[in-house]
Amino acid sequence: MGKVLGIVGSPRRGGLTGSLVNKALRGVESAGVETEVIYLIDRNIEPCLDCRGKTCWTTGSCRFGDDSVALNRELDLCSGVVLAAPVYYLNVNGLTQKFMEKTRVRDVNGKPAFGIAVAGGTGKGLISALQSIYRFLTIVGFRGIDPLPVSRFNAQRALERAYLTGRRLGELARGPRSPFKDLAERIAWYASLEYMGFDIVDENLFLARLVLENAAPSSEADEALLREARLECSRAERLVGEGRRAEAVEHIIAAYDRGVQVWRRLERGHR
């Protein structure tokens, strides 16, 4: 049985993305599986040039010989993967994107994989980037499990969930592989996963709820703001339920903005 690889797409060591991967790997190890962490910033991965006469899809090797060649071998030999990336402009960052573009694997069909998207600052893009990760996993043949969207509004709970999902990943990695029969089965699996059917309206409503669920008011003014925010969120949910999604957006943003005001006061108080 191969190791479970933890791939950190952030250029920063010691940040939340790396912490989540390491927490997930601790969960994997609790299931009795060896792990290895890979920081993409340490690997030389050049952008794909879509070169003529390429053989990378059949050999798994880039003709220019960068570190993607070794990474492809490691993916073929592993028993599972944790892949986490920070969110830039509602998508995974360029470092992770280069890794995805240069992946050419031949023996990953059905191996379990756990994806994490980490949206700092506003939290926006935590679902759209997660979808990019799981589309990648689906295309190359991994069997994705339990997608995890992360922002500063749920970071502590996300660390706890990363450990639990890591343990599940380890248990799956120890068992028999469950390969997909064909592309249709892969797509159906992707479509069954949580969050994969979200659009940008769903994402922002999810984020507003996340802010409100985890806000901790410290004053009457905060309580008043949260009441207003919850009212706006309820209006948005009603409009979405009625199919009036475009009309719901202003209420979603209003709920989010009020909730974030409470968060900012809380964060200032902890400095």
What is the three-state SS of 184-227?
HHHHHHHHHCCCCCCCHHHHHHHHHHHHHHHCCCCCHHHHHHHH
pTM of the model: 0.94
Q: Are residues 219 and 170 in the same domain?
A: no
Comparing 42 with 58, the larger pLDDT belongs to 42
Report the pLDDT value the prediction gives residue 53, as an integer from 0 to 100: 63
Task: Tell me which DSSP letter residue 244 carries.
Answer: -
- For the chain, how many structural domains are there in total? 2
pLDDT higher than 80, residue 269: no
Question: Do 110 and 173 sit in the same domain of this protein?
Answer: yes
Cα separation, 83 vs 116, in Å, equals 6
Q: Is 67 helix (H, G, I), strand (E, B) or coil?
A: coil
Instruction: Indicate whether 187 and 212 sit together in one domain.
Output: no
Is 116 in the same domain as 214?
A: no
Are 150 and 215 contained in the same domain? no
Instruction: Indicate if 175 and 230 belong to the same structural domain.
Output: no
Per-residue pLDDT reduced to its tens digit, 138-181 = 999 999 999 999 999 999 999 999 999 999 999 999 999 999 99
Q: Are residues 115 and 176 in the same domain?
A: yes
Return the DSSP state at 23: H
| Pick from 7, 155, 32: nearest CA to 85 | 7
Q: Are residues 151 and 235 in the same domain?
A: no
Say yes or no to pLDDT of 270 above 70.
Answer: no
Same domain as 14, residue 123: yes
Q: Which residue has the higher pLDDT, 118 or 268?
A: 118
Last residue of a domain, one of 130, 160, 192: 192
* Long-range contact set of residues 180-184: C-beta below 8 Å, sequence gap at least 24: 180/109, 180/110, 180/141, 180/143
Mean pLDDT rounded to a whole number for the chain: 94
180 with 220, same domain: the answer is no
Percent of the chain with pLDDT over 70: 97
Domain boundary among 192, 215, 237: 192
Longest CA–CA separation in the chain, Å:
68
Tell me, yes or no, whether 138 and 222 share the same domain: no
pLDDT greater than 70 at residue 271: no
pLDDT top residue among 59 and 74: 74
Q: What is the pLDDT of residue 177?
A: 93
- One domain for residues 86 and 181: yes
Q: Residue length, the chain?
A: 271
Domain of residue 69 covers 4-192
